[in-house]
């Protein structure tokens, strides 16, 4: 009789999750699309990784199984084969689908905040913290008056027969 470990389902689950996480490193590129020239193919893949799939939107065309992503990959490769530069291929796609098609938006007036926003926030926060600590450091220290001094000494003195005015203890 085969004994299935009671951890069997757990092991299966972990294995399944591992496959989903690491196994699906999607190779959407079909073998028949690939160029025979490895240098050109490497360029095509580099370009495709930065081009957004226009129907799935969250994926690059390199990762997408969508039919239109396939067609765009083929177009990228055809253009490279015809001697286009990387920039020309990108321009071809941007002319048709707009900056949207680039996974990294270009730096323009409209996108300036996207690129500089995090740094501006960091800078603002940094300035805020600096100002705060400068004020803390500058705060004037007034010396204790006689009564306060006496009370402080009471705290500091560990002596059983000295009544602590802040502790609710029966007087000795």
Partner 1 sequence: MSMRRRLLFTLPLLALAFLAVVFALGLSPNRDPRAIDSPLVGKPVAGFVAPALVDGQPGVAVGDLPTGAYTGQVVAINFFASWCLPCRAEHPFLKKLAAEAGIPILGIAWKDKRKASQDFLDELGNPYFRVGTDENGRIGITSFGITGVPETFIIDKEGIIRARIPGPLSADLIEAQLLPLIKGLQK
Question: How many Å is the Cα radius of gyration of the chain?
Answer: 34
Tell me how far, at minimum, the Cβ of 94 lies from partner 1, in Å.
Answer: 7
- The span from the CA of 87 to the CA of 90, in Å, is 5
Tell me how far, at minimum, the Cβ of 100 lies from partner 1, in Å.
Answer: 5
3-state secondary structure of 85: coil
Name residue, tokens 């591992």.
Answer: 18
Q: State which residue, 81 or 96, has the beta carbon closest to partner 1.
A: 96
For partner 1, the binding residue among 37, 71, 91, 148 (CB under 8 A) is 71
Tell me how far, at minimum, the Cβ of 148 lies from partner 1, in Å.
Answer: 26
For partner 1, the binding residue among 24, 57, 142, 145 (CB under 8 A) is 57
Tell me how far, at minimum, the Cβ of 54 lies from partner 1, in Å.
Answer: 4
- The span from the CA of 150 to the CA of 166, in Å, is 13
DSSP state of 32: G
Instruction: List CB contacts of 114: < 8 A, sequence separation 6 or more.
Output: 105
For partner 1, the binding residue among 34, 75, 84, 103 (CB under 8 A) is 75
Q: Enumerate residues 16-55 that contact partner 1 by CB under 8 A.
A: 54-55
Q: State which residue, 95 or 146, has the beta carbon closest to partner 1.
A: 95
Q: Enumerate residues 84-113 that contact partner 1 by CB under 8 A.
A: 94-98, 100
3-state secondary structure of 102: strand
Helix axes 38-49, 86-97, angle to 10 degrees: 40
Number of residues that bind partner 1 (CB under 8 A): 14
- The span from the CA of 84 to the CA of 7, in Å, is 56
Residues of this chain that bind partner 1 (CB under 8 A) = 54-55, 57, 67-68, 71-72, 75, 94-98, 100
């Amino acid at each position: 009789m085969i004994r299935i470990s009671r951890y069997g389902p757990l092991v299966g689950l972990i294995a399944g999750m591992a496959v989903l996480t690491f196994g699906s490193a999607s190779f959407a590129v079909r073998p028949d699309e690939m160029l025979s020239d490895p240098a050109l193919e490497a360029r095509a893949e580099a370009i495709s990784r930065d081009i957004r799939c226009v129907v799935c939107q969250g994926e690059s065309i390199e990762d997408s199984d969508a039919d239109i992503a396939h067609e765009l990959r083929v177009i990228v490769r055809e253009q490279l084969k015809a001697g286009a530069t990387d920039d020309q291929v990108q321009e071809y796609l941007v002319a048709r689908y707009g900056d949207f098609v680039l996974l990294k938006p270009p730096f323009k007036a409209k996108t300036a905040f996207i690129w500089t926003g995090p740094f501006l926030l960091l800078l603002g926060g940094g300035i805020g913290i600096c100002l705060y600590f400068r004020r803390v450091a500058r705060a004037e220290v007034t010396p204790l008056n006689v009564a306060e001094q006496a009370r402080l000494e009471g705290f500091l003195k560990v002596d059983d027969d000295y009544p602590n005015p802040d502790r609710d203890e029966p007087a000795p």
